Structure 1
């Protein structure tokens, strides 16, 4: 049976609660994370394939940094932690055994 993430799952909670982060940009990060969730919900369990998806997600988030700067914000400590916590909870839920540092290895934030 393929797992589905609870529709009430809280993505990037600390970022959404902090006005320093424009919500529309946090939404873009969430969208990239949701692509990984969609991939996992399709039943993909290969660590190599999941890591590839995580790399794609992380590179896409990297590309948002200039947009954050343009809106007097940045992907810094709180944001890094919120992203890591969100991704880690998703990996745990789907029982994917990838260390969070490895999962986000492509980050430059």
Structure 2
């Protein structure tokens, strides 16, 4: 399996909710697509994959002020949707990563 599930709609739940501006959801989607492209290259070092996940989460969190500026919020629902998408990607590629463990070990701003 070399490529990601072309039937899976990234962040579908957020796109269906008018509270979240599509152009900001697109920014998170691009982060996920970048991660997918990275994983499709079949990295061998799972520590690097974990670092990439952390970077993705941090970049998504950095969008919180843009959400606020657009009468929205990067809230728990949006974060949970992102995590569910990451879990799906990890499972799809059979990565030996426990996302909950990876996220619990990090220090967040």
Q: Which residue does the alignment assign to 2:59? A: 60
Shift of 1:5: 0.2
| TM-score scaled by length of structure 2 | 0.87
C-alpha RMSD over aligned residues:
2.0
| TM-score scaled by length of structure 1 | 0.87
Shift of 1:108: 5.4
Quick one: distance in 2 between partners of 1:81 and 1:45?
27
Shift of 1:103: 4.1
Indicate if the aligned counterparts of 1:62 and 1:108 stay in contact, CA closer than 8 A: no
Quick one: distance in 2 between partners of 1:52 and 1:73?
28
Q: Which residue does the alignment assign to 1:91? A: 90
Quick one: distance in 1 between partners of 2:29 and 2:60?
9
Quick one: distance in 2 between partners of 1:104 and 1:21?
24
